[in-house]
């Protein structure tokens, strides 16, 4: 079965603290994974994808096939990072994204 699990509904941190948003997946083969973000009153947008191995807005995510995880990390959270974050997996047919339920990140000063 292809599935994405985000175990935390809400993560609250203080500004400057490290952030880790958890994502686990179930997939046969080599997955293609993404993090999407939705800021307040904005549309869903791509934050990063594992295949690019890039860092966007200070966020990184490493694919760990042994643990079937793709956790999103940032060393120092900023208030503008407050948003809803979705982990997503491209299905095996390559036709659709499978999303987790999302984690709300709240960064306060």
Partner 1 sequence: GAGVSQTPSNKVTEKGKYVELRCDPISGHTALYWYRQSLGQGPEFLIYFQGTGAADDSGLPNDRFFAVRPEGSVSTLKIQRTERGDSAVYLCASSLKGGAHETQYFGPGTRLLVL
Residues in contact with partner 1 by the rule CB under 8 A: 4, 6, 32, 36, 43-46, 49, 51, 86, 88, 90-91, 93-102
Q: Which is nearer to partner 1, 43 or 67 (CB)?
A: 43
C-alpha span between 61 and 74 (Å, rounded): 9
C-alpha span between 88 and 101 (Å, rounded): 10
Q: Which tokens belong to 28?
A: 């046969």
CA 43, 44, 46 angle in degrees (round to 5)? 130
In angstroms, what is the minimal distance from the CB of 67 to partner 1?
21
In angstroms, what is the minimal distance from the CB of 93 to partner 1?
6
What spatial distance separates the first Cα and last Cα of the chain, rounded to whole Å? 41
CB-side exposure of 47: number of CA atoms within 13 Å? 25
In angstroms, what is the minimal distance from the CB of 18 to partner 1?
24
Q: Which is nearer to partner 1, 13 or 44 (CB)?
A: 44
In angstroms, what is the minimal distance from the CB of 6 to partner 1?
8
Q: Which is nearer to partner 1, 32 or 68 (CB)?
A: 32
């Amino acid at each position: 079965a292809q599935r994405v699990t985000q175990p935390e509904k809400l993560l609250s941190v203080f500004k400057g603290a490290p952030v880790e948003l958890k994502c686990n997946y179930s997939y046969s083969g080599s997955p293609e994974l993404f993090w999407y973000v939705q800021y307040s009153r904005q549309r869903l947008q791509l934050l990063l994808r594992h295949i690019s191995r890039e860092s966007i807005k200070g966020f990184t995510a490493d694919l760990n096939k042994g643990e079937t995880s793709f956790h999103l990390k940032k060393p120092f959270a900023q208030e503008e990072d407050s948003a809803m974050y979705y982990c997503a997996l491209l299905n095996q047919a390559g036709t659709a994204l499978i999303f987790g339920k999302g984690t709300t990140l709240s960064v306060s000063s």
